[in-house]
Structure 1
Amino acid sequence: MADDVLDQLAAVLPPGALVVDRDVVDAYRRDRADTVRPGWPLALVRATCTDDVQQVLRLASEHRIPVVPRGAGSGLSGGATATEGCLLLSLDALRDIEIDGPAMLAVVGAGVLNGDLKRAAREHGLWYPPDPSSFEFCSIGGNLATNAGGLCCVKYGVTTDYVLGCDVVLADGTLLRLGGRTIKDVAGYDLKRLFVGSEGTLGVITRATVRLRPAPAPFSTMVATFADVESAGRAVSAIVAAWRPAGLELMDRTTVRAVEAFKPRGLDVDAGATLLAQCDAGAASVDEMAAIEAICQGEGATYVAVTDDPDEGEMFMQARREAFPAFFDRGTTLIEDVGVPIPRIAELVGGVERIAEQHRTTIATVGHAGDGNLHPLITFDPKDADAVVRAEAAFAAVVELALSLGGTLTGEHGVGTVKAPFLAAQLGPEVLEVTRRIKDALDPLGILNPGKMFG
């Protein structure tokens, strides 16, 4: 049957789109969740257009073959990891960009990199705000699949806040064109939001129409250090209660030390935690930043400095973006993506420190503190069986802590396979049952990204 399917695919796809060479396929089998073991696909399809995606899904449905869609492979939860015998569907080549300046929107293929969209918008004096730390190499399709956030989301929101429309191919090959180019549109159910964040389990997004904003004013950047991470957490809660900075990021001592070892920038490696804040309110940034500085000092900051130099400010924010690669160089890392209500940030970060001590495991906490979304990074030696057990127990304990604080097990990375075992604990049986009904209605054969989200 496998040869028959491959022959049928070769007949309907353009030359070069179907790949069976194991060396080439191997490069597409996994995302950045290095604790998830990938299977071997039947083949890789490098789609060149939406019609290619439709052809693949029609044949996959006919032969009941699982399909795993993927973008740039920058995901951190195993959502794009290949399953055994699947068709691995790469959308990387769908890179068309259309900027409509007067309408302040862009129409982009799923393979367009976030950073490339930002640069294209900038040529028109516009800006695409969602900015994951991986913005230079993550794709818009992947951003939509996980409803990605980023450093600016405390003020500007996440991916779904910018989606006006999208093209989605269903499991049977049906193409849906959802939404459009208008800012307001309440005709019928808002189905596009159903697919954003669905991690390829309901359909494959091939194109999106997204909102753009006027380019922001130059950023002012603050660096503040604290003796302990809970003081930094309390400062975050106080800041967000009074202001909406463009960015508000937290790095604990373990994170700062790893980042400085990875690429030194002069951050204080002895401080218990470091906060980075950015304001883009133009002339009003002076007052806003002064108020944020006063809040930090009131919460016991040991050092506060503000710069209006864009290059210096970007240097500090780049240090924050390099937290993940700094730990990828140190061994296997389980990446949490929990979120809690803003007033409970100090409880979360303090609780994570205690979990690390209890399980004798290294956990570095970093993340978008301004919207309560933190990323505890659990690093361990995969060759040490006891260390693996402790790391997995610590991972579960962090999820339980976040849920006990009224939070979520994922704020932007998605459920994937890494967090699938915990989804039911957050949703509860009633919501999980309705979620499964939606999945069954749109993907009755269960071929779309099996094993992801639901486990």
Structure 2
Amino acid sequence: MTTLQPTPDLLAGLPDGIAVTDPDILRSYRRDHSRFTDSGSPLAVLAPRGTAEVAQCLRACHAARIPVVTRGAGSGLSGGANAVDGAVVLSTHRMNAVLHIDPAERLAVVQPGVLTGDLRAAVAEHGLFYPPDPGSVDFCSIGGNVATNAGGMCCVKYGVTGDFVAALEVVLADGRVLRTGTRTVKGVAGYDLTRLLVGSEGTLGVITEVTVRLRPAPRPPQTLVATFGTPAAASAAVTGIDAAAPGCSAVEILDRTTLRAVDALTHMGLADDAAMLLVQADSADADAVLGAVAEICAAAGGEVARSADAAESALLMAARRMALPALERLGDHLLDDVCVPRGRIVDLVLAVERIAADSGLTIGVFGHAGDGNLHPTIVFDGADPASAAAARRAFDAITAAALELGGTITGEHGVGRLKAGWLTRELDPVNLAVQRALRGVFDPDGILNPGVVL
């Protein structure tokens, strides 16, 4: 195999200690955690330490017309951080400082390499709360969260990452530095470029600083667990919860396959039922909210248990976070990320059951039922071409079902390379044309993350 070599001019113009060309290290930067996505061999990994060095890197790559793939923690599941042949991977892992916390304005300013869990811990010391709560909170980065507009388990009450981004500092493809947004409570001067950049998956610029809004720390959550004889019954309860008991801070679902996998991993003694709902409330009226939820779940045929113990609540939420790692132990896996209107959750669950039966594959279902965002996870044998092909067909069938139900192809993981071909199914031609034109304005030469999204 021929080893690609970066041009001497590219490296010569960069500060010492930024470029890595060791082949073993380069191989570790080829791809993120996605499956069924292409990746290539990068020329080099560039690891700048601040905005000025990012600008130097991009100016050099722009001049040489070398593609740039930005990488945060590499925890993505859609191929958005996969290298392409002849590109450089720009890693933000050295840019990992919490620069400022302003308790009075309830703001924090951070570099993109800060881990989300570390930010949450840092602001908690000031009695504040950063709500976005991805399942990978302990090892995903803020930059990656902003790039994909990541969600998580608290979205049903608090919203997604973009709802908390107040301002950004971004380096454009040619090395110019763009600052967007404000640190004021209100601000409507000009186009909302902050919102445009959130979720752009590294295709419009490289995020080098993020200002996020914070909330006062909530009360310790109370937790309800309800188990059901069928996933459809659990899904029907979710619809009732949304209508009659708003205010829940988490409404999560796990089916029997996922429950068994989590129990085998954690030995928590989880119930062997067809489905489980995990519901939390952290408001002053949490007792009344969960009382209403208990009635809804019981009416749908659920067995209900409640707890106000903070340690037990944290343990149950930790078990929910283990859903994907637990399913990974069953074999090769392909995780989907689709979102439907909350009133169509039952239909989506039934569709996944049919697809599992038709494919002959095991599909574990878990996710954020409270906002319609589920993660059907297909287990297959990667060494068997027929099994792998069946997994891909099942993945496509689930994604198509979400669209047919009025949903979207991705709720929080992003389009990346995994679902780039699906955009033409979801977006109309005018929408696609406008998005392509916008990308051309920010990156006329197309060097930023080629092959991602559009």
Shorter-chain TM-score: what band?
Answer: over 0.9
Q: Which residue in 2 is equivalent to 1:248?
A: 251
The one-letter code of the counterpart of 2:290 is: M
SS in 2 for 1:12: coil
Residues 250-329 of structure 1: matches in 2 within 5 Å?
A: 250-269=253-272, 271-282=273-284, 284-301=285-302, 303-329=303-329
Segments of 5+ residues of structure 2 without an aligned counterpart are none
Distance of 1:355 and 1:224 partners within structure 2: 26
Are the equivalent residues in 1 in contact too, given 2:249–2:279 (CA < 8 A)? Answer: yes
The answer as to 2:215 corresponding to 1:219 is no
Distance of 1:125 and 1:321 partners within structure 2: 24
The one-letter code of the counterpart of 2:105 is: A
Distance of 1:11 and 1:56 partners within structure 2: 8
Distance of 1:72 and 1:26 partners within structure 2: 15
Q: Which residue in 2 is equivalent to 1:24?
A: 25
Distance of 1:9 and 1:56 partners within structure 2: 9
Residues 33-112 of structure 1: matches in 2 within 5 Å?
A: 33-97=34-98, 98-112=100-114
Write the deviation string for residues 217-244 of structure 1: whole angstroms up to 9, x where unpaired: 0100011000000111111011011212
Distance of 1:34 and 1:352 partners within structure 2: 19
Are the equivalent residues in 2 in contact too, given 1:34–1:332 (CA < 8 A)? Answer: no
Judged with a 3 Å threshold, the aligned counterparts in structure 2 of structure 1 residues 172 and 11 are, in CA distance, closer, same or farther, namely closer
SS in 1 for 2:211: strand
- Name segments (4+ residues, structure 1) moved above 4 Å: none
Write the deviation string for residues 314-363 of structure 1: whole angstroms up to 9, x where unpaired: 11111111111112233322111100001110000111111111111211
The one-letter code of the counterpart of 2:359 is: H
Are the equivalent residues in 1 in contact too, given 2:46–2:89 (CA < 8 A)? Answer: yes
Distance of 1:411 and 1:363 partners within structure 2: 19
Distance of 1:418 and 1:335 partners within structure 2: 11
Segments of 5+ residues of structure 1 without an aligned counterpart are none
SS in 2 for 1:193: helix
How big is the shift at 1:11? 3.3
Distance of 1:60 and 1:332 partners within structure 2: 37
User: TM-score, normalization: structure 1?
Assistant: 0.97
How big is the shift at 1:54? 0.9
How many residues of Structure 1 are paired with residues of Structure 2 in the alignment?
449
Are the equivalent residues in 2 in contact too, given 1:9–1:56 (CA < 8 A)? Answer: no
The one-letter code of the counterpart of 2:335 is: I
Distance of 1:348 and 1:43 partners within structure 2: 43
The answer as to 2:167 corresponding to 1:165 is yes
The one-letter code of the counterpart of 1:263 is: T
How big is the shift at 1:4? 6.8
Are the equivalent residues in 2 in contact too, given 1:201–1:452 (CA < 8 A)? Answer: yes
Distance of 2:94 and 2:191 partners within structure 1: 31
RMSD, matched Cα: 1.2
Distance of 2:181 and 2:239 partners within structure 1: 36
Q: Which residue in 2 is equivalent to 1:401?
A: 401
How big is the shift at 1:51? 1.2
The one-letter code of the counterpart of 2:32 is: D
| 1:150 aligns with one of 149, 152, 172 | 152
Identity %: 52
Q: Which residue in 2 is equivalent to 1:384?
A: 384
SS in 1 for 2:271: coil
The one-letter code of the counterpart of 1:445 is: D
How big is the shift at 1:47? 1.2
How big is the shift at 1:37? 3.9
Write the deviation string for residues 222-279 of structure 1: whole angstroms up to 9, x where unpaired: 110000001111110110112120000000111111111122211112x110000000
SS in 1 for 2:83: coil
Q: Which residue in 1 is equivalent to 2:231?
A: 229
**Farther-moved stretch of structure 1 (317-326 vs 127-136):** 317-326
Are the equivalent residues in 2 in contact too, given 1:342–1:372 (CA < 8 A)? Answer: yes
Are the equivalent residues in 2 in contact too, given 1:35–1:333 (CA < 8 A)? Answer: no
The one-letter code of the counterpart of 2:173 is: A
Are the equivalent residues in 1 in contact too, given 2:38–2:417 (CA < 8 A)? Answer: no
| 2:143 aligns with one of 141, 144, 162 | 141
How big is the shift at 1:36? 2.4
How big is the shift at 1:38? 2.2
The one-letter code of the counterpart of 1:214 is: P
Q: Which residue in 1 is equivalent to 2:352?
A: 352
Distance of 1:8 and 1:279 partners within structure 2: 53
Distance of 1:233 and 1:102 partners within structure 2: 41
Are the equivalent residues in 2 in contact too, given 1:338–1:399 (CA < 8 A)? Answer: yes
The one-letter code of the counterpart of 2:92 is: L
SS in 2 for 1:54: helix
